[in-house]
Chain A
């Protein structure tokens, strides 16, 4: 009986996986046939969506004219995306923001540096970064401990290894920071930012629609967010957490 149950579950999971794979491909087909609504529904039916699934959903929303939903889906896709997908996501978000008439914000120098580093790290997965970091780290200490007679070359090698290590450390820091950071996309026009988690607090600013904010804290039905230089509380229902 137990064996039968295990066998049944195995076959069931195989077919369910197979069915989901088929859904994904069908959604692709619908998109190519310009049936964007059907394609969106099929992508939405997939559980545990990958970056590619979210990205494709975003494309469907964009084609249907729902630019805000498209931006939210693309921000979802940024988690776990790598390589060419990341570039495409950033490009598409720019297009959608232009359609919504959003102005590009001035970015601080640290934001620009981190975005530049992220682009460079696109091709590295987290495991690869960790392994490369450990290798260069061990190599650095090996050369520090080893006392060869050629001191000139030793110093050069140590210097190079140190720089590479710093690069990998920065990359790891960005990866971990992105993984821990919670973000949200504003779904409401001119969403108000309050000074506290209640509408009775005074309004400290407004958020443009489809803007991506950092979520610092959640309290009941309110979220504390940070956007550009503004920080405050907004209602959770006006955000889509990505």
Chain B
């Protein structure tokens, strides 16, 4: 008995020590965290995989079967441990882009070498979500705001314009709303930018303010196209503390940030039926007119042809230019395109202008111009035509009678088409038929000859430059230069007839020859130097007399006899010759 009770007690303790119920659970919830009932294509929802018990690493992600049918993204991980029990919660955000009933799960993980699986959940994705259910859901989730996406058509053809509208309803105190992000949609091209407007609407007896985001787009690919849900963020003023709310307004948006998603939408895009010929537009067009202004012009003069198309459609977006039909002798050029919006709210007019030139004189009929378009109301092709008109081209005296051929890009040789002789250009020249080589001096010779007078002018200047270093270093050269300078000065003195300069000339000569300063050249020093050079007494006496005469002539205001200066100069020249031999 005791043994049995003991065994039961041990079993109870062992059971109690064993880890609590270890399992894996998969759940699908809406964005608000409520159990998911049904969802629209493109609308985001949450997927949670809860793993209880140990033996599983938090890094190990469970594999969810059926996730390949949806767009799923990891949204976080939460790990809690209570009394040694670890619970790991993997969170995901997912979205189904097509309608239907989908099965998510089971989620599979590996624990202690064995594979464990969770339950599966069924997700019902509906095409459209009734507007009435949205406010109820918004109210039940406590947000008070919701987003609705709608289009003006559910079935279109390729190229037909669709008006899209995203309306943000709000009943609470929204402080800020982020603009709708219009992502690129494969198979659609956007026509214009997003336009916004405001208003209010009553839904299920409750008044809502709204902000509209609208734009136009055009499908480019046929088939069933799903436009996923749009989303936006908005801020709601918190009710907790008004004072803090007011303060927080200074630092940012103020309040609690929330996210809201719209419904998705499905559009059926049909191919255009086949048509022989060019299709210029898709839409609803009523009138097509053509005007030529002026109706009478001279040859070569420009006229303006205006094609006016009234109606709505994708004419502005299409690159198919309207084909212009004109007589052969007319040339036309694209000028400009513009849209005229009527002030009273009627259909707009698309205008295409062309510059037209008539190259031949005469009366010409401008044939009817055709405009082919696909009528979206009646779902068939229609053609609008203008009325024919008449244009008169008057002769112009300056125009050639035959159309001249304009040279093509590659044409370099003349064609055989002759034109009437124009008297405008000058006549032929009959000169030499061969290129004569122009006779001219070579450039180097020209420059050399140009330098000759410059050199001739520069030579005396260069010669008169006394190079101090050379004079000092070479005594013989110094003496020669001194002698030459003295003779030049004597010559000048002779020409001028000034005998007073001869004294100065000799002083400079002796100073330069003996390399002495001027103040050391005196009568005695000259005599002494001449004695050293070997001049005898007679010569020294002669020099003494001559030098005295020079001094008197230079420093005293004596009236010299005519011819006396010449005699002095002759004596001075003689003395210079003597000095040349000995000095």
Q: Give A residues with C-beta under 8 Å from B.
A: 20-21, 23-24, 28, 31, 34, 36-37, 40, 46, 48-53, 55-56, 59-69, 80, 84-85, 88, 91-92, 95-96, 99, 125-127, 130, 133-134, 137-138, 140-142, 144-145, 176, 187-189, 209, 240
Contact = CB atoms under 8 A, between A and B. Distances in A.
A49 B424 contact: no
Contact of B404 (A52, A53, A65, A69): A65
A21 B424 CA distance: 28
A24 B407 CA distance: 26
Interface string B439-482: 11101001001101110110000000000000000000000000
A28 B430 CA distance: 8
Contact of B435 (A21, A23, A50, A138): A50
A187 B412 contact: yes
Q: Lowest 4 CB-CB distances: which A-B pairs, in order?
A: A141-B453, A65-B404, A52-B431, A24-B433
B455 to A, nearest CB: 10
B429 to A, nearest CB: 4
A59 B425 contact: yes
Most chain B beta carbons < 10 A, residue from A34, A130, A141: A130
A80 B436 contact: yes
11 contacts: A31-B428, A63-B418, A65-B419, A80-B436, A88-B426, A96-B425, A127-B438, A134-B446, A138-B452, A142-B453, A187-B409
Contact of A92 (B406, B426, B431): B426
Contact of B421 (A24, A34, A61, A69): A34
A103 to B, nearest CB: 16
B440 A40 contact: no
B410 to A, nearest CB: 9
A188 B409 contact: yes
A80 B414 CA distance: 25
B416 interface: yes
A140 B179 CA distance: 85
Chain B interface helix/strand/loop/mixed: loop
Contacts, number: 131
Given A36-B414, A92-B426, 19 more contacts: A28-B430, A50-B433, A52-B431, A52-B433, A56-B428, A59-B428, A63-B421, A65-B405, A67-B407, A91-B425, A125-B438, A126-B438, A127-B439, A130-B440, A133-B450, A138-B452, A141-B457, A144-B457, A145-B457
Given A64-B418, A66-B414, A49 B435 contact: yes
Contacts of B435: 48-51, 80
Nearest to A125: B438
A209 B441 CA distance: 38
Contact of B426 (A31, A68, A91): A91
Contacts of A134: 446, 449-450
B432 A64 contact: no
A229 B414 CA distance: 32
A52 B440 CA distance: 21
B415 interface: yes
A166 to B, nearest CB: 14
A130 B425 contact: no
B409 A189 contact: yes
A88 B438 contact: no
B440 to A, nearest CB: 4
A36 B429 contact: no
Given A65-B419, A141-B453, A46 B425 contact: no
A20 B440 contact: no
Contacts of A96: 425
B422 interface: yes
B414 A64 contact: yes
Interface in B394-424: 404-407, 409, 411-412, 414-419, 421-422, 424
- B: contact size bracket: 35 or more
Contact of B417 (A40, A48, A65, A133): A65
Contacts of B415: 64-66
B434 interface: yes
A106 B419 CA distance: 32
Contact of A95 (B425, B439, B457): B425
A213 B481 CA distance: 63
Most buried by B among A85, A140, A187: A187
B433 A130 contact: no
Nearest to A62: B425
B433 A37 contact: no
Contacts of A125: 438-440
A188 B452 CA distance: 51
A52 B427 CA distance: 11
B453 A138 contact: yes
Given A50-B436, A127-B439, A187-B412, A34 B429 contact: no
Contacts of A64: 414-415, 417-419
A95 B423 CA distance: 11
Nearest to B446: A130
B11 to A, nearest CB: 85
B418 A34 contact: yes
A208 B457 CA distance: 54
Given A60-B414, A188-B409, A51 B425 contact: no
Contacts of A28: 428, 430
B446 to A, nearest CB: 6
Given A88-B426, A92-B426, A20 B421 contact: no
A20 B434 contact: yes
Contacts of B409: 187-189
A48 B433 CA distance: 8
Contacts of A46: 433-434
Contacts of B432: 50, 52
A51 B209 CA distance: 86
Contacts of A240: 412
Contacts of B439: 125-127
A141 B425 contact: no
Interface in B497-528: none
Contacts of B438: 80, 125-127
A146 to B, nearest CB: 11
Contacts of A23: 433
A240 B433 CA distance: 22
Contact of B414 (A37, A92, A126, A137): A37
A28 B428 CA distance: 8
A64 B426 CA distance: 15
Contacts of A99: 404
Contacts of A91: 425-426
Contacts of B453: 137-138, 140-142
A10 B428 CA distance: 32
A175 to B, nearest CB: 9
Contact of B431 (A21, A50, A60, A137): A50
A127 B436 CA distance: 13
Nearest to B414: A64
A72 to B, nearest CB: 9
